[in-house]
Amino acid sequence: MDRIILIGFMGVGKSTLGKKIARRLNVPFIDSDNEIEKIHQKTIGEIFGEIGEIGFREIEMNFIDSLEKEKGFVLATGGGMPCFGNAMEKLCTLGQTFYLKRSPKELMHRLINAKQKRPLIDGLSEEELLIFIENKLEERQEFYKQALFTLDRNEQNVDQFDKIIHLRQFPQKS
Ligand code: S3P
């Protein structure tokens, strides 16, 4: 039973890669933000506006719990999901976690035109966005680093897709 969990900063490419892997493994693809929006019939921005970040993190935590009953899946988490309470511990118990890593500069370029749907960075200038990413990454690193596997997209010479397909056969860190 494949339960692949992709974690990493906003804009790193969790959903794009996740969809491909799910198709290859023939299991459902789950995007936590999309599912939470469907369940609550609200956008992530509206949820943040109504109950704040703390409220959103509680929803994310409940969402992780709801996946325990699912069989195989590929999950793309929201960027902050693993970094609150014992969420990372729960994710590691739930399936095989893969941390997708990119440099702050690269993330900034990928996010600069994709800020509107993301309340934490909406309205930031290019310069402010880079500083935000550097600080948040630093803060979140300790959680992301607990993933079973880390894949650095900048230094990658093997296609990441094939690497995940290959690594998933190993229950332990290599
Ligand atoms: C967040 C990342 C977003 C979304 C929310 C908060 C974060 O998901 O969950 O805006 O705290 O990093 P993506 O990583 O899919 O952008």
10 within ligand 1 shell (Cβ under 6 A): yes
Q: What is the pLDDT along the chain (174 residues), one digit of tens a residue?
A: 789 999 999 999 999 999 999 999 999 999 999 999 999 999 999 999 999 999 999 999 999 999 999 999 999 999 999 999 999 999 999 999 999 999 999 999 999 999 988 999 999 999 999 999 999 999 999 999 999 999 987 544 456 777 787 777 766 554
What pLDDT score was predicted for residue 168? 79
What pLDDT score was predicted for residue 154? 58
Does the residue 82 lie in any domain? yes
What pLDDT score was predicted for residue 174? 44
CATH classification at residue 103: 3.40.50.300
- Measured from the Cβ of residue 53, the count of other Cβ atoms closer than 10 Å reads 13
| Distance separating alpha carbons of residues 34 and 20, to the nearest angstrom | 17
Does the residue 174 lie in any domain? no
Phi, psi of 124, rounded to the nearest 5 degrees = -80, 145
- Quote the domain boundaries for residue 156: 3-169
Element (H, E) at 6: strand 3-7
Does the residue 106 lie in any domain? yes
Number of structural domains found in the chain:
1
DSSP string, 17-57: HHHHHHHHHT--EEEHHHHHHHHHTS-HHHHHHHHHHHHHH
33 within ligand 1 shell (Cβ under 6 A): yes
For the entire predicted model, the pTM comes to 0.93
Sheet of 73-76: strand order equals 29-31, 73-76, 3-7, 96-101, 149-152
Name the residue with the closest Cα to ligand 1, atom 2.
79
Does the residue 159 lie in any domain? yes
Placement of tokens 């939470």 in the chain: 36
